[in-house]
Amino acid sequence: MPSPAAWSDNERRRFVDHGVLIRRALVHGDILSRARDLVGGWLNEAYDPARLTAHTERSFAPELEEHPDVLALYRRSSLMELAEDLLRPARTAAVTRAQIQIRLPHGTEQPVKRMHVDGVSCPHLEPRDLRTFTFIVGVVLDGSATADAGALHYVPGGHHRMADYFATDWVLGQPAQTPDDIDTQDGTAFTAQPGDVIVMHHLVPHRVGINTSSTPRVMAYFRVRHAQHRDLAMAALSNPWLEYPALAGLARPGTE
């Protein structure tokens, strides 16, 4: 059996093919409960409904992005080791902040996120801003494990299509985030319990819908970057394995 802080060969191949890996109940105990209680307390005491759109576009609880109990989800579980293992022998840059996303329960007029790739042509960025990363790690803190309860929806294998799109039909500064054939897809829902973790290649298109349940869906995200991502960012948009030295050889012909 592989170490809990390492990916098996089958998982690596799955990541190359689908761009997504899931580990169930990876974060638990005090590490999970402290972060969940912290964000829940913020939602009950500090949340301002007038800032709903800004929070949805960027992050809820921005005051907690660098809180030790939130960063512990990444640093004190096995997530940091798993992140490093995925890029080895390349090094990862330090992860110093989290993004907290909350899909509020049924009855809240919360904006719906369409299919997109983070950091490219985002509505809250300047058109020529590029704020990408290598992959994202998401930890479920709270919420119902159903597809229509504010779950993340992603397109398995969509990173291959997006790499082709960025190579042939896209220029920095254009408003379209995804091609039409991606934009119209519903995607696969990440149906999950608190403590479940998703690791998703940056190029995998995804969206988030409304939450029809009675419970907020709370996620903590950590953006992981190759140590030289600043220099590789533009090229990595059309070469999905540029930042993954050990995975490039597993990619199918035409998907590098």
What angle, rounded to 10 degrees, do the helices at 68-75 and 29-45 form? 140
Who wins on pLDDT, 131 or 190? 190
Q: Which amino acid is at 162?
A: M
Q: Domain boundaries in the chain?
A: 15-246
How many CB atoms sit inside 10 A of residue 189's CB?
18
Distance CA(32)–CA(29), nearest Å, equals 6
> Residue 124 pLDDT more than 90?
no
Task: Please report where in the chains the tokens 């533009």 appear, as a residue.
Answer: 234
Distance CA(198)–CA(65), nearest Å, equals 19
What average pLDDT does the structure give for the chain?
Answer: 91
Who wins on pLDDT, 58 or 218? 218
Mean pLDDT computed over 152-179: 91
Q: Helix, strand, or coil here: 56? A: helix
Task: Please report where in the chains the tokens 């590029």 appear, as a residue.
Answer: 130
> Residue 211 pLDDT more than 60?
yes
Q: pLDDT tens for residues 48-62? A: 999 999 999 889 999
Residue 172 pLDDT level (bands cut at 50, 70, 90): confident
Picking from 89, 91, 152, 62, the residue whose alpha carbon sits closest to that of residue 116 is 152
In angstroms, how far is the first alpha carbon of the chain from the final one? 29
Q: Which CATH superfamily is domain 15-246 in?
A: q2cbj1_9rhob like domain (2.60.120.620)
Cα-Cα-Cα-Cα dihedral sign, residues 165, 251, 80, 34: positive
